Amino acid sequence: MAFRKIDISELSFNPFDKIGKQWMLITCGNSDKYNTMTASWGQLGVLWNKNVLTCYIRPNRYTYEFIEKEECFTASFFGEEYRKALSFCGSHSGRDCNKAKETGLTSAEIDGCISFSEAELILVCRKLYSYDLQESGFLTNDGIPNQFFGSDPYHRAYISEIVGVYVKE
């Protein structure tokens, strides 16, 4: 499938729907070895005069190993017909299976990063800054740590410059 590079100013969507309801695949690695995971947490905005995406990855996720090593990753968005594939990618580990093979997604290289031919929108992101979430950082007492973490490790946040925006032709 062919993609066309566009200027980020051409984007028009609700980020709360795009990330929180439609989900995205965070993919990192190279054509020889990569992993992808479904994410429904993230932010889009401007920081340090750069257009950025912030994503969150737990250190026990297989994708964490890849994103720690690489300079760039992709955030890919799909049509509703790929909901089952995204659900699979969020509930299975790439340590145990080949997610692309299991879901029928076709890996594709774009700007030296891995994404998928079936995506409708691809953001190519270059990592700028990372930090670890921690319980001591919560400023409210509304149960977020217990509700979202329990015995799971806290996420590492990656603030990343959006260096390429691609839409399906």
The pLDDT of residue 150 is: 84
Q: What is the dihedral of CA 137, 155, 69, 79, to 10 degrees?
A: -130
The pLDDT of residue 113 is: 96
The pLDDT of residue 1 is: 59
Per-domain residue ranges of the chain: 3-168
pTM listed for this prediction: 0.95
Mean pLDDT split into 10-residue runs, the chain, 169 residues: 93 96 97 95 97 97 96 97 97 95 96 96 98 92 88 94 97
Residue 153 sits at φ, ψ, to 5 deg, of -70, 155
Q: What is the CATH number of domain 3-168?
A: 2.30.110.10
